[in-house]
Structure 1
Amino acid sequence: MRIEAEAVAPANIAVVKYWGKRNKQLNLPLNDSLSITLESLQVRSKVTFDENLNHDEIFVNGERLSDYETREYAGRVLEIIRKLYGKRVFARIESTSNFPSSAGLASSAAGIAALTFASNAALNLGLDDKELSKIARVGSGSACRSMFGGFVRWNKGESDEGDDSFCEQVFGPDHWPNLVDVIGIFKEEKKKVSSRSGMESSVASSSLLKCRLRFVEETFDDIIKAIRDRDVNSFFHLTMRHSNSMHAIILDSWPSMSYLNDKSFVVMDWVHEFGKAAYTFDAGPNPHILVLEENVQEVVNFLEGLGAKVIVSKIGKGPSLVRSET
């Protein structure tokens, strides 16, 4: 038996961040999060289930992953897929991305989402996007948000088994058509501290964590309302506050760490002075600057002046199937 499917899935940028887990194995977060699906950042994954294989093989941009990386990320998803399929068949996965991996741009999220979507199609499991988001979450927390387009909420849930920790679309890709994400890439190399390790350190040591969780809870409905009303000033303000909140936790962890660099802080200062945009940073130094379409070129000019490679992305759709065959 040899079954194959290929899917494309988008990256996402969280405006309400998640940083810290209540269950590491199931990737259950300490708080709800909210993200924007990005049209221009995509991973394409071909999944081939083959009875002649005796282990999973995963290649990312032509480079084979280590046994540890295979087991700890995609392997978790594939174990669930095999259980649902009812047959222990291994897979070869070939993924390519159109943006740098391990630079804080959610490449793992897009890759795991593409893998999950393609596996569902290849094995004809018939799972809906909500159920797929639960499976993708186990491979990479933020991957569950890449199962939907537009503005996506990840519900943290309360169940120890994770049954109520899933994603849902809050607003579609066309809700805010002139909102754009301008991404500046300063560094493309692999992070010194992975997001997974960083989160564990923060949960174990940050004295500010409880304050941040309270801040997220108190402001979550406000940012939903700002998006619903397309209230630019409120949305920009809250987006930057949430980014700063997460990175304050990271800096407060012990041993202290930071994913930002000197240029990240230059960006923050400029955005405040510019007054018509919002910055947000995931676990990396590369800024996402959210701005209305009419002001995109000013942001692009600024980032290029700092020596950044620039990617401009509108709000995108969820995963799609490229092909499926037996």
Structure 2
Amino acid sequence: MTSATDFIFEGSTTTNEQTIQQGTFTWSAPSNIALVKYWGKKEQQIPANPSLSFTLSNCKTITSLSYFKKEEKGIAFDLLFEGQPKEEFKPKIQKFFERILHYCPYIADYHFTIDTKNTFPHSSGIASSASGMAALAMNIMSLEKALHAEMTQAFFLEKASFLARLGSGSACRSVVGSVVVWGVQADVKGSSDLFGIEAPFDIHNHFKNYQDVILLVDKGEKQVSSTVGHDLMHDHPFAQERFKQAHQNLSRLKDILQTGDLNQFVALVESEALTLHAMMMTSMPYFILMKPNTLQIIEKIWAFRAKTEIPVCFTLDAGANVHVLFPENNKDAVLAFIREELSEFCQNEHFIEDKMGTGAVLIK
């Protein structure tokens, strides 16, 4: 079994590190949407329960990492968001570099310029920290690969997911695969708390190229950050039952994804979404991230599904926005429904059409 110490960089046997003086890498990494949710974590971004997610395709972060070797050792970087300095993002990146320094000591030798942009609104509940930290981790690993040419691709991806997790837990699910499991789960071979893995089982055709339309109910900053929310699970009266339920639901969802049972998929995914928000509403202090329009959308989806028998369902992340999930062959009918009945509940009638993707991509 892989341990964290396996990811400590100890130098290369084949590459002269003095020759890597400067360069630039660019990666894109997608957002992801958890179907079985993780809520609550231990030290070092270890999840309190396992999760399973669909990787997205269109909602992504594109990050360039330029670097040059410097004289003095230490963490040093500039941060640009959409080409402009973004000072308020720097503390999170600083903390990330501090966390990974033990595993990537070479970062102290370089000055970095990080230039990043999203294809979707930042901090609006579309897991921008997940895609952002995953893209940054892929760039860091490209530098490590340059320093250590004999690295295997499997190790590259595992460590990238491991590093991404130290920036934002769910970022480890944005590195590879369409369906990703993160967290130790007895009936998922190779599952780990340290990194996400591509689901090691066959996915039924019903779930291939599954669609996700994200209804942007509220594009503003969340009132309560996910970090604060996770911390409130430590003394939560229902935490232990929730963690047990997540294991059971992941086993059930694993079977559903293999058998193609769309009705069971709908029931489990919606239950998981509402359970996540129930945990928020029953913590102390309690909080509500859903908005009135979130509830209006949910009720409309239920009515539409009952009327048409189309297996469309919703899920929610830690925010007010609604992810509308459905099979590709129902796309025309569901998109018409969204335009005619749901878009009015979105901020400026804005929604994003997305679908399952396959993970991070090297651009340069």
Q: What's the TM-score, normalizing by structure 2? A: 0.80
1:203 is displaced (CA, Å) by: 2.4
**Residues 1:8 and 1:173: Cα distance change in structure 2 (over 3 Å):** farther
Q: What percent identity do the matched residue pairs reach?
A: 26
- Is residue 49 from structure 1 mapped to residue 67 from structure 2 by the alignment? yes
How does 1:232-311 map onto structure 2 within 5 Å? 232-275=262-305, 276-293=311-328, 294=330, 295-301=333-339, 302-307=341-346, 308-311=349-352
Q: Distance between the aligned counterparts of 2:174 and 2:233, measured in 1?
A: 24
Rate the CA distance shift 1:211–1:116 in 2: closer, same or farther, 3 A: same
Instruction: Give the distance between the partners of 1:121 and 1:80, measured in 2 at CA.
Output: 17
Quote how far apart the aligned CAs of 1:2 are.
1.6
Contact 2:101 2:107 in 1 (8 A): no
Which residue, 140, 163, 167 being the options, matches 2:168?
A: 140
Residue pair 2:124, 2:319 contacting (<8 A) in 1 also: yes
Tell me what 1:313 maps to: 354
How many residues are aligned here? 315
- 1:11 pairs with 2:49: no
1:247/1:258 contact within 8 Å kept? yes
- Could you say what secondary structure the match of 1:39 adopts? strand
Q: Residue 282 of structure 1 aligns to which amino acid in structure 2? A: D
One-letter identity of the residue aligned with 1:296: V
Say if 2:56 and 2:355, in contact at 8 Å, map to a contact too: yes
Q: Deviations over 1:21-44 (max 9, x none)?
A: 121xx1001000000000110110
- Runs of 4 or more, structure 1, over 6 Å off, are none
Could you tell me which of 4, 22, 26 is aligned with 1:2? 22
Quickly say closer, same or farther: Cα 1:315–1:174, change in 2 above 3 A.
farther
Q: Which residue of the other structure, out of 230, 255, 267, is the alignment partner of 1:199? A: 230
Residue by residue over 1:182-206, the C-alpha shift from the partner in whole angstroms, topping out at 9 and shown as x without a partner, is 11012111112110011112323x2
Q: Considering only CA atoms, is the larger Rg found in Structure 1 or Structure 2?
A: 2
Deviation, 1:259, is 1.2
Deviation of 1:212 (Å) = 1.2
CA shift at 1:56, angstroms?
1.9
Give the Cα separation in 1 of the matches to 2:64 and 2:202.
27
What are the residue-to-residue correspondences of 1:1-326 with 2, within 5 Å?
Answer: 1-23=21-43, 26-52=44-70, 55-61=76-82, 62-66=84-88, 67-72=90-95, 74-76=96-98, 79-80=101-102, 82-83=104-105, 85=106, 88-124=109-145, 125=148, 126=151, 127-156=155-184, 164-170=193-199, 176-204=207-235, 206-275=236-305, 276-293=311-328, 294=330, 295-301=333-339, 302-307=341-346, 308-323=349-364
Can you list the C-alpha shifts for 1:232-288, whole angstroms capped at 9, x where unaligned? Answer: 111111001111111111111111111111111112212222223111111110000
**Following the alignment from structure 2 to structure 1, what is the Cα–Cα distance between the partners of residues 301 and 139?**
39
Match of 1:29, SS state, is coil
Please tell me the residue identity of whatever aligns with 2:46: L
Q: Is the 8 A contact 1:56 1:75 kept in 2?
A: no
Alpha-carbon distance between aligned partners in 1 of 2:99 and 2:24, rounded to the nearest angstrom = 16
Please give the secondary structure, in 1, of the residue aligned with 2:104.
Answer: helix
Residue aligned with 1:243, SS = helix
Offset at residue 157 of structure 1 (A): 7.8
Give the structure with the larger strand fraction. Answer: 1
The CA distance in 1 between the partners of 2:227 and 2:321, in whole Å, is 18
Taking only aligned residues, the RMSD between alpha carbons, in angstroms, comes to 2.4
The Cα offsets for residues 5-62 of structure 1, whole Å up to 9 and x where unpaired, read as: 1101100000011110121xx1001000000000110110001122249612222233
1: CA distance between counterparts of 2:170 and 2:49?
12
Q: 1:133: how far off? A: 1.0
Give, as a single letter, the amino acid of the residue that structure 2 aligns with 1:34. Answer: L
Q: Deviations over 1:274-303 (max 9, x none)?
A: 223111111110000101231432442232
| Cα distance between partner residues in 2 of 1:189 and 1:164 | 31
Q: Tell me if the contact between 1:180 and 1:296 (Cα under 8 Å) persists in the aligned partners.
A: no
The offset of 1:215, in angstroms, is 1.2
Shift of 1:317: 1.2
Structure 1, unpaired ranges of 5+: none
For the 8 Å contact 2:204–2:258, the answer to whether it is kept is no
Relative to structure 1, is the Cα distance of residues 86 and 157 closer, same or farther in structure 2, using a 3 angstrom cutoff?
A: farther
The superposition leaves residues 101-159 of structure 1 with CA deviations (integer Å, 9 ceiling, x where unpaired) of: 1011011100111111112113324342122211110110000000112110002489x
